[in-house]
Structure 1
Amino acid sequence: MTQISGDTHLQSDALEDLTSAVNYRKWLCSLGFPHFGDDVLEIGSGLGHYASEWADMGARITASEADESRLSTLRERFAHDARVTVRELTVPISETADYSTVVAYNVLEHIEDHVGALRSFSGLLRHGGAIVLVVPAFEFAMSRFDRAIGHHRRYRTAGLSRALTEAGLIVEHCHYINGPGLLAWYVTCRLLGGRPKEGPMLTAYDKLYVPVERRIESRLRMPFGQSVFAVARRP
């Protein structure tokens, strides 16, 4: 297993640029929250936007980071918030623990040995605990921006399910999310060589499109999507 890769400054800039995507963040958090237990570890917490949202939903959560700058931001952000504990956690992970849930949103694709990473995530869980993931979907959408921020791959549901199974986990859910968002990513990042960023387009996407798509996908499983959402359990 290798260290999480990519331009850390560009990663942080991208996280900051997506701060205003409130509806999208709430959607992703709502997918993961029902699978949480009483003691949740988030791997790769970034600037803490997901951790803050989950804390507001009632989760007891430990936010973790390897990057020193982002770790400092997390400690400052949650210094007076008893709902969120902050700790440093680097890959490869050699320790074991007894968390109820490990959640990693847009992290696994940064790790070259993703099966080894999943095994180490499992080692942080109690028996029966859950791993909750979001990863980018479809290799044809791999862009210069993906590579710059350290993505080794994008996933199909079959490939992610296979990696989870190889890691000794039992797959409960694995499906695509944000169907039309895949086209937006492909055009913006792959064809035009851009990146998601703050601005009128993102604001309109978040306010107008996301609530509609969230309602649709609550009733219908998409055959494609910008991301894959998965839940697997340690036996």
Structure 2
Amino acid sequence: MADITGDQRIQSEVLEGLATAVNHRRWFVELAMPYLGENPIEVGSGLGDYAIEWAARLPRFTATEADPDRLVQLEKRMSGFANIEVRQLLLPADGLAGEYSAAVSYNVLEHIEDHVGALRGMGALVRPGGRVILIVPAFMFAMSRVDIATGHLRRYTKKSMRAAMDEAGLRIERLHYANALGLIGYYGATSIFKLAPKEGPMVRLYDRFVLPVTRAAERVVRPPFGQSVFVVARTPG
């Protein structure tokens, strides 16, 4: 897996801002839960916010990082969770082939040049018939200086995600956009007003008041666009 490149200051601000978006995180936690199985692995756990919430509902969970510095931070944060194993992971990881019920990876694939190879690597971690579960940023028109600074190489559509999954030999079970209003807000903030989505009153207000309405609406109607693409694919077998 390629190392994440870009402006470390902006990366830190974005990660810290997302950490305060509790409703956003819990929505995306719930999206993956039905597909994780009893022993999933997360590819690219970052600060571990998702890992902690998933692990609270599962008997075993493996959190990983490719970057050595972030791995140290992740290990320190997870030291109090008995059911979370932390390990360094670079794809492909042949020594872990077929060990897990699912591989989940949120906002990681867009950083990797050989994203089809990374998908194959994720699929190889999972036992036959298990799932690969991803969230990635949506729509290239929303590519901003924040994306570039945080090491994003691309943003996806449902069509481009389907093509990557097909090439990787993974069969899609679920594929849709998520957080339609978030795309509008992100584009306005980063492309029009040239702001970074960091911790502050705007993030908290959006997370507290706008996000719950968006989530409720998207339970009823799948929007034709969104800030993210959510996909679940099954491995062969």
Instruction: Give yes or no for TM over 0.5.
Output: yes
Unaligned runs of 5+ in 2: none
Structure 1 position 93, deviation (Å): 4.0
Whether the 8 Å CA contact 2:91–2:122 is kept in 1: the answer is no
Q: d(CA) in 1 for partners of 2:227 and 2:219?
A: 16
Q: Distance in 2 between matches of 1:56 and 1:176?
A: 26
- By how many angstroms is 1:98 displaced? 1.7
CA offset digits 1:56-108 (Å, max 9, x no partner)? 23352100001122211111111121121110112454442421100000000
C-alpha displacement of 1:17: 2.4
1:174 to 2:175 alignment: yes
C-alpha deviation, 1:134, in angstroms:
0.1
Corresponding residue for 2:108?
107
Q: Secondary structure in 1 aligned to 2:104?
A: strand
**Structure 2 partner of 1:32:** 32
Structure 1 residue 192 displacement after superposition = 1.9
- 3-state SS of 1:126 partner: strand
SS of 1:123's equivalent in the other structure is helix
Alpha-carbon shift at residue 18 of structure 1 (Å): 2.0
Gaps of 5+ in 1: none
- 1:154-182 per-position Cα deviation (integer Å, ceiling 9, x unaligned): 00001101100110010001100000111
Give the whole-Å Cα distance in 1 for the aligned partners of 2:41 and 2:107.
Answer: 15
Corresponding residue for 1:183?
184
Kindly indicate which of the two structures has a greater share of residues assigned to helix.
Answer: 2
| Partners of 2:42 and 2:51 within 8 A in 1 | yes
Whole-angstrom distance in 1 between the partners of 2:47 and 2:5: 16
Q: Distance in 1 between matches of 2:123 and 2:92?
A: 13
- Contact 1:115/1:166, CA 8 A, preserved across alignment: yes
Q: Which residue of the partner structure matches residue 6 of structure 1?
A: 5
Identity of aligned residues (%): 49
Q: SS at 1:132's partner residue? A: strand
Compute the RMSD of aligned alpha carbons: 1.4
Instruction: Please list the CA deviations of residues 178-225 of structure 1 after superposition, one character each: whole Å capped at 9, or x if unmatched.
Output: 001111111111122211011111110010011111111111111000
